[in-house]
Structure 1
Amino acid sequence: MASLNVGSLGEYLREQRRTAQLSLRQLADAAGVSNPYLSQIERGLRKPSAEVLQQVAKALRISAETLYVRAGILDEKERDELETRAVILADPSINERQKQVLLQIYESFRKENGFATSADADGTDQDASGDAGVRADGSDDGAPPTRKQSAGEPFQGEQS
């Protein structure tokens, strides 16, 4: 019954492996799986675990979420949300605080458009650091300043 998804996954993996100009053996070594096992996955005879798919995706330098969708582990909508988050979190040109603000804005827009957010799922409306931070509209919600204060320097908004 799942062989249709697995077959599609296998064909996709084979195509990606060939595009990356890797032999079956090279990919198996890079992913930390056996050559026969990888061959069975490509032929649609085995359904790999999410962990194996993640290892193969890393070795191919492709999105693990794409493989999860192909394998039927994740649906397309979930993949899109996860990929958006992954791109934001992986961007080296912005700092951690900026990443968290972007994720908050993203969550706000999804919520406004009627989509469930990961914050709704865990019952919180805070970022990973636990700060409430900056609202999606850019206003401060009373969170402490993120800039370090120099000795003797008044806090923002404090009169000297």
Structure 2
Amino acid sequence: MLSLLTTSLIAMAVPTATGPCPNGVIHQLDGLYRWHVRDMEQRADPVEALPSQRQRFTPSLFELLLQARSLTPTRDGRFLDFDVFSNTQASTFGARVTGCSDEQRGSIQAEVAVTVGLRRVPSETPRRLLYEMTRSSTGSWRINNITYLDEQGFQLRPFLQTLINPEP
């Protein structure tokens, strides 16, 4: 019963992304996934490859991603064990921006359907992610946080902060 109540409260707290998205938001997210799919196909080192995407993220989120991707189980006892752009350990085949919420105070929520799968076979059910996009001082849109809608509102930023700086 409590789980159902929690899920309902989270669903009410997450804004629905039903309207059209600004071109700048679509451009940033489409570009991110084109890079990500290509990066996965080339099996590039995630720590070395990520800096090429710095302009797509707010500086604070980018720094958290870089630090988290640098963690290793042998040295740090913890590491980032999932793909932050799909919330899976599977391959990403592509993504589609499905809608945006209304802009509020320079921020917008963009819902993205991510196609993932195993062994080169895409799943029929896409993963749903909600990107919090903020407008930079230059007017471009940047990723500030990701909420994984399939995981009862699990958010990337707080997770990374805890992963990097665990409580003793």
TM-score range, shorter chain: under 0.3
Which structure features the higher share of helix residues?
Answer: 1
Which protein has greater RCO, CA pairs closer than 8 Å, 6+ apart? 2
TM-score (norm 2): 0.21
